[in-house]
Amino acid sequence: MPRAAVLGLGISGLAAARLLQQRGWQVGLYDAGDGAALHQRAAALRKEGFGITLGALYPPERPDLAVVSPGIPWDHPVLQTLRDRGVEVIGEVELAYRHLPCPWVGITGTNGKTTTTALTAAIFQSAGLQAPSCGNIGTPTCALALQHPAPDWAIAELSSYQIEGIVDLSPQIGIWTTLTPDHLERHGTLERYYTVKARLLHAAKLPILNGDDPFLAHHGPGWFPHALWTSTDGSNPRAIAHGAVIRDRAVYFAGEKILTLNTFNLLGDHNRQNLLLAVAAACKAGIAPAAIAQAVSAFRGVPHRLEQLGTCQQITWINDSKATNYDAAEVALRSVSAPVILIAGGRAKAGDPGPWLAQIRAQVVHTILFGEAAPFFAQLLTECGSLPYNSVDTLASAVEGAWEHAQQFAPATILFSPACASFDQFANFEQRGDSFRSLCQPYLVPSQ
């Protein structure tokens, strides 16, 4: 019986272990953590027949295959040792691809990939296809591979961490939404970051690129000469003849009108970019315009991304917890009605805060800072010209403060757009956004 080592006991690692076990492998799971919750999880997994080792990633015996969870850096010394021993090392997504006999849409990018993935899946499903979303959006790809029968399509959101572990994955359609600096604490340089992202699109049979993104518009034609392009203002000449564009408040693909924009419910130019990418993929998959239009009309976005929670005293509260970097937070500010009271903070990331600060200057009447990044953000706001702010310790205090300041400033919007990772006070951005939603309820009248 072949032996596999799965490194990491997170949700994707467990899905990979179960898939391997189903396919006849002897599976051992390894995790460097050693906490009480992991021991509880390990006890349950041993009853399923898995060997479990906590407190170490290194398998004592040479396995035939090692499957790595996305949270483990691809240059980790343990992975290099395994490679030196002749062990094939792959990611969970690569394992799923080898056992999931259906075409894939692979979607990546710094921002926009979750909304694009969810909308693409909704359009494919509206056409009667079994096309679940998976990957970084929620359901692990290996969990999808465990299902029988296989779906018609896999609509996969893929982060740079997941793309690092691919070998043979070749999506039928590859989508690249945006490229701005992010995850540099792992990848080191912007060049390395975009090289990882580009691997997915080079492997795709049909790459689709956002022609409104400055980085992609500049570099993409040389990298992907046969790519399909999109453009919200029709200024990208590559998109006009063969791609997806917006013209006269309607979406066109290859010159054919697909739908009118008055049926699209999401805020912001960036969401119109996401719409074009999803429409282009659907058209290339042979989905009829009527099915596309129906799905777009029904789509209400994804939780934690410009999620409108409700109104009170003509103030709209918006949960944008998914804005974990400066670029996403800047886009959010440009998408909402001013004046704004902004709540920001968490664990700061590397990147250029300049455009975000400029947008704060243009739209924000008061900023409330919380968490680990509060002193750093306070310094940025002061250096930017004494933009008004105050600092608090917790998100709960920030929400309370936002309501108090709203009585003074009468804003149109209270926007929670952290521009930070969540890991100083929360397990992930979803938990952070759920907390914000709950904290807001006493101040909200649900939108009609």
Tens of pLDDT along 355-379? 999 999 999 999 999 999 999 999 9
Residue 161 φ/ψ region, left for φ over 0, alpha for ψ in the -120 to 50 degree band, beta for the rest: alpha
Supply the pTM of this predicted model: 0.88
Percent of the chain's residues with pLDDT above 70: 97
Q: Are 297 and 291 in contact (CB under 8 A)?
A: no
CATH superfamily, domain at 100-298: Mur-like, catalytic domain (3.40.1190.10)
Distance CA(44)–CA(104), nearest Å, equals: 33
Q: Is the pLDDT of residue 203 over 50?
A: yes
The pLDDT of residue 445: 64
Nearest to 106 by CA among 68, 163, 64, 149: 163
Radius of gyration of the chain (CA): 23
Beta bridge partners of 56: 31
Domain definitions of the chain by residue range: 3-92, 100-298, 307-443
Which residue reads 């893929």 in tokens?
Answer: 158
Residues 6+ apart with CB under 8 A from 155: 104, 105, 107, 117, 120, 121, 124, 131, 132, 133, 134
Mean pLDDT of 390-416: 97
The pLDDT of residue 448: 44
Q: Could you check whether 100-298 and 307-443 share the same CATH topology?
A: no
Tokens of 279: 């429409």
- Residue 193 binned pLDDT confidence (cut-offs 50, 70, 90): confident
Q: Is the pLDDT of residue 173 over 70?
A: yes
Tokens of 113: 């990939």
Residues 77-134: pLDDT tens digits?
A: 999 999 999 999 999 999 999 999 999 999 999 999 999 999 999 999 999 999 999 9
- Residue 202 binned pLDDT confidence (cut-offs 50, 70, 90): very high
The pLDDT of residue 60: 84
Q: Are 336 and 431 in contact (CB under 8 A)?
A: no
The pLDDT of residue 413: 98
Tokens of 63: 């396995």
User: So what CATH class is 307-443?
Assistant: alpha beta
Q: Which CATH architecture has domain 3-92?
A: 3-Layer(aba) Sandwich (3.40)
The pLDDT of residue 241: 79
Residues 296-319: pLDDT tens digits?
A: 999 999 999 999 999 999 999 999
Beta bridge partners of 24: none
Between residues 109 and 387, which one has the greater pLDDT? Answer: 109
Q: Is the pLDDT of residue 234 over 80?
A: no
The widest CA-to-CA distance across the chain, in whole angstroms, is 70
Where does 204-261 have alpha helices with state H?
214-223, 237-242
Q: Are 236 and 228 in contact (CB under 8 A)?
A: no
The pLDDT of residue 191: 83
Percent of the chain's residues with pLDDT above 90: 85
Residues 6+ apart with CB under 8 A from 23: 99
For the chain, give the mean pLDDT.
94
Residue 415's Cβ-side half-sphere holds a number of Cα atoms within 13 Å equal to 32
**Long-range interactions of 333-336: CB distance < 8 A, separation 24+:** 333/359, 333/360, 333/362, 333/363, 333/364, 333/415, 333/417, 334/268, 334/269, 334/359, 334/363, 335/267, 335/268, 335/269, 335/270, 335/271, 335/306, 336/267, 336/306, 336/363, 336/412, 336/413, 336/415
Q: Is the pLDDT of residue 447 over 60?
A: no
Residues 46-93: pLDDT tens digits?
A: 999 999 999 988 888 899 999 999 989 998 999 999 999 999 999 999
